[in-house]
Amino acid sequence: NIGAKIISFVIFYAGVSLLVESAKRLITGQYEILVSFWPLFAAILSVSGKTFLFVIEYTTGNKYKSNSMVAEAKNMKNDIMMSSLVFVGVVLNKIGLAWMDPLVGIVMSGIIIKVAWEVFEENTHDLMDGLKDEEMWIYEKVFEACQKCGALNPHKVRVRKVGGKFDIDMDIEVNGEMNVRDAHEITKCIKKHLFETKEIYDVVIHVEPEANDEHEPFGLTKETFKKDEKEKN
């Protein structure tokens, strides 16, 4: 996630730099007339090669849930758009519209800055130990496992991402007269159900006696989770 953030800043810097340079050229009227057709061939080759790399990186990143690889793939997508606009700029130059080249550069810079923001925004949740809406199903899985295994009042449930997997912490309650072995069997049962999901990295369960009155404001309970989901809808 940190790697993805760094990539977003690099992309943003590239976009702003291109915007400043293109604006200067537009204001000063610095247009270069191209004679050779090599820039045209180079742009076509660049688009083809980068498209191939984008497909490989994006597919692999989604397969292994690597945010940094997906971010790099989006950066490559950014390069594809840039190369495509370079192709357009060269064509415009060849037909006598060289003055439009800086305008193409400004359009390119806008696209680059937009991609940078998207990469930054997508990874903010993970860095803040938050989950996206489409990942909230993991809480339902936790409460379902607790119910199946006989655990009482699952609370302080906190789920964070480690790479592409979920790291789960929770507290449960059991009958205060239950022996340690039986309480441990309940935690084993919960973990067994949760690890049926391949997206689980680790599960830590703290056991408390039933009706524990300790004030524990952090994490979610089944009730607060349902309330939050209802408010979203």
Q: What is the pLDDT of residues 82-134, one digit of tens each?
A: 788 778 878 887 787 877 888 888 888 898 898 888 878 777 766 666 677 78
DSSP conformation letters of 122-160:
HHHHHHTT---GGGTHHHHHHHHHHHHHT-EEEEEEEEE
- 138 within 8 A of 154, measured Cβ to Cβ: no
Query: Is 0.75 surpassed by the pTM of this model?
Result: no
HSE of 232 in the Cβ direction (CA atoms, 13 Å)? 10
- Over pLDDT 90: what percentage of the chain? 31
Compute the average pLDDT of residues 30-42. 73
- 157 within 8 A of 221, measured Cβ to Cβ: yes
| Res. 190 pLDDT band, cuts 50 70 90 | very high
Which residue in 89, 117, 101, 137 sits closest to 16, CA to CA?
117
